Amino acid sequence: MDVLKNNCESIRILASRELNKHGINLKLKNLPRKKISVKRTCYGVAIRNLDMVDMILGKNKITIPKIFYNLCTFIGSDMNVEGIFRIEGSKIKQKNTIKYIDKQCRIPDDISIIEAGAVLKAFIRNLPDALIHQDYERWFVEAAKLPEDHIVEALLLAVFLLPLEHIYLLMYFMQFFQEITTHSSTNKMDLHNMAIVISPNIFEQTNKVSAETSSIRCDITKIMMQHAKEIGCVPEKIIQKLDDFDTLQAQKKCRFFW
């Protein structure tokens, strides 16, 4: 049984309660869904509206956008390229590649690894709803400020507050980016360097980002890459509470209808 998929909202509430125990007492909000009027196929399209593909990631069956899967698969064909994800390449070529993908719904044959990395970042950065929306970033930031021995647990719990499609994509991306860093002897992209170039793309884009905020975002991204295979894995203590929680919620609904 897919525990996360079948119990997403219950896990979300229970995870917020576990974070409350860590002293993170923020209001749990619903993610504002932006309405996009411009008709596009890929670029600037919400995750839930993209062409999706099912895949197995470890022991998990997840669903992610096909365009991200194809770009990562291509980049993964040669992870030893120096400056991968750090070097931007030609802005004109990047713009033309995005237009091509939007029109053809596939990656052009003449794209390079460097260009693919730049285009992937652009796609992530321009999602209408950021992977980690600003309403949820506060939970991640507060988790990162906890005593060192609680940070990892709290950040992994904070992931469950996100919409399911965002959780799946974070699971996939963090494992993929972590794999890139295992080739750092040749591509020069260790965990720290990768976190620096990736973190601005997964958080909400704002006009002014302070040095402190940038540093915290970088630290959060680095920790998530370090613990990539744990992202999306529902803790046993939450699984044990699911039946009682769902029963209680059902009873509340019954009392409401009566």
pLDDT at 35: 55
pLDDT at 257: 35
Contact by Cβ (8 Å): 103, 9: no
Contact by Cβ (8 Å): 58, 229: yes
Cβ-based burial of 150 (10 A; exposed 0-12, middle 13-18, buried ≥19)? middle
- The mean pLDDT values, 10 residues at a time, for the chain of 258 residues are 87 95 89 58 89 91 96 97 92 93 90 96 94 93 96 98 96 98 97 96 86 95 98 94 70 41
pLDDT at 33: 61
What's the CA dihedral at 47, 49, 53, 54 to 10 degrees?
80
How do residues 27-83 score in pLDDT, each as one tens digit? Answer: 887 765 665 545 667 899 999 899 999 999 988 899 999 999 999 999 999 999 999
170: domain range?
3-257
How do residues 6-17 score in pLDDT, each as one tens digit? Answer: 999 999 999 999
pLDDT at 255: 40
Count the Cβ atoms, other than its own, within 10 Å of residue 112: 15
Overall number of domains in the chain: 1
**At 52, which helix (H) or strand (E)?**
strand 52-57
CATH number of the domain residue 194 falls in: 1.10.555.10
pLDDT at 245: 78
pLDDT at 232: 95
Contact by Cβ (8 Å): 162, 132: yes
Bridge partners (DSSP) listed for residue 245: none
Distance CA 18, CA 103 (A): 45
